Amino acid sequence: LEDYESAPSDHGRPYYIKVNRIQNVVTIYALDEAGQYTVPVKAMVCSTGKDLGTPTGTFRTADKHDWSYLEGGVYGQYAYRIDGSILFHSVPYYIRDKARLETEEYNQLGTSASLGCVRLAVSDVKWIYDNCPAGTLVKIYDSDYPGPFGKPGVEYIDTADERAGWFRKLAEET
């Protein structure tokens, strides 16, 4: 279960982000009446680094970019720096073109598949990009417990479909 005794106090930002490397889940928390981040708001499935390549610890978000060139010669939308070269970003695209999503990589959401960054569906990373200002605390940790909302499901893309490069989230936004 969640250890709310270790929840941070108000750091002047609306949310606190927790990334569970074992479960590949991002959970967003808001402040409670006592000024601690214990109110779960949203859970998102993600892909963290292969072989636990995403570092653990507590970090503060920094700069962000609509598009960013990534390791491996690909691009990510809504890249938001967690620490050093570790970012939140979308599943990679072959080029800076929303029609060129790497569908095979998208279909790995929920598994450890990145080179260290935290990959998310575009709608999820855009939510973080839009709602979590620079300086937001991010805790990256390991746990068998997926969090208060569990691990969200993923609607995978049929890579044989001619529209596979495009993806529109069909599930209702929470």
Active-site residue, selected from the candidate residues 11, 46, 117, 132: 117
Among 110, 106, 133, residue whose Cα is nearest residue 121:
106
Quick one: pLDDT at residue 170?
Answer: 35
Output phi, psi for 40, to 5 deg. -65, 135
Biggest CA-to-CA distance, the chain = 52
Active-site residue, selected from the candidate residues 11, 46, 65, 89: 89
Residue 12 has pLDDT above 90, yes or no: yes
The percentage of residues in the chain with a pLDDT greater than 70, rounded to a whole number, is 92
Residue 132 has pLDDT above 50, yes or no: yes
Residue 65 annotated in active site? no
The model carries a pTM of: 0.90
Quick one: pLDDT at residue 112?
Answer: 97
Quick one: pLDDT at residue 157?
Answer: 82
Residue 1 has pLDDT above 70, yes or no: no
Quick one: pLDDT at residue 161?
Answer: 75
Cα separation, 174 vs 81, in Å, equals: 24
Q: Which 3 state secondary structure label does DSSP give 29?
A: strand
